[in-house]
Structure 1
């Protein structure tokens, strides 16, 4: 049995191909600083949800997603030969906010740790 499903293997190929396009061939300034963080493909290989990470405010995120939407045909044309599929999946782009959420969690953890006195040792067994 293969360790990954076909959809997962194709998802990885799509992510690699788009990342390569971003670094070499796409010159749209709206999507220059975007990073493809994840690609989820439906089991029937018809729909690819592409999650991109963009650092900036809501306007920057909206502009980046609009840039990807406008470049969708170009992207499909260039990655289709690398995938070797009978049908090219429909590409849909979404903002991946998991990094923003992780940064907020780190800040919360740091604020809690900062409030703990340094001289208290939780493993000292003071309740004896």
Structure 2
């Protein structure tokens, strides 16, 4: 039962954080597309690790990540208003590079496949 509740809280926080990032944060330095991929809220509801995937070049990624980390207090306050929890978790923003990692692995596999097809000819 508790695990089910934790999953619901994670999904609800993910939905709200994503909404806040898309519509509420108005910072000109945040020009990249940001996607919230995962949220892990601790069992005691004190901390929420928010994993974000940022699409853009390296400089844009760094600027956007800095903006998100600086606005974590604002995000926390908004979460407190929108979700009724005993404690409003402290927001920790982490960069999620699993999509880039997956694309890199795909490229490597395609390269190996290409080599094998040339070797068989």
**TM-score, normalization: structure 1?**
0.80
1:116 is paired with a residue whose SS is helix
The residue aligned with 1:94 is 94
1:1-128 to 2 correspondence within 5 Å?
1=1, 4-32=3-31, 33-117=33-117
CA distance in 2, matches of 1:25, 1:69: 15
Deviation of 1:107 (Å) = 0.2
- How many aligned residue pairs are there? 118
1:12-51 Cα distance to aligned partner (Å, 9 max, x none): 1111001112222221133352111111111221111101
Contact 2:53 2:96 in 1 (8 A): yes
CA 1:30–1:6 in 2, change beyond 3 Å: closer, same or farther? farther
Structure (1/2) with the larger helix percentage: 2
Deviation of 1:76 (Å) = 1.5
Contact 2:72 2:93 in 1 (8 A): no
1:69 is paired with a residue whose SS is helix
CA distance in 1, matches of 2:117, 2:63: 45
Deviation of 1:116 (Å) = 2.3
> Unaligned 5+ residue runs, structure 2?
none
Structure (1/2) with the larger strand percentage: 2
CA distance in 2, matches of 1:8, 1:102: 25
Contact 2:76 2:88 in 1 (8 A): yes
**TM-score, normalization: structure 2?**
0.84
Deviation of 1:59 (Å) = 3.1
> Unaligned 5+ residue runs, structure 1?
121-128
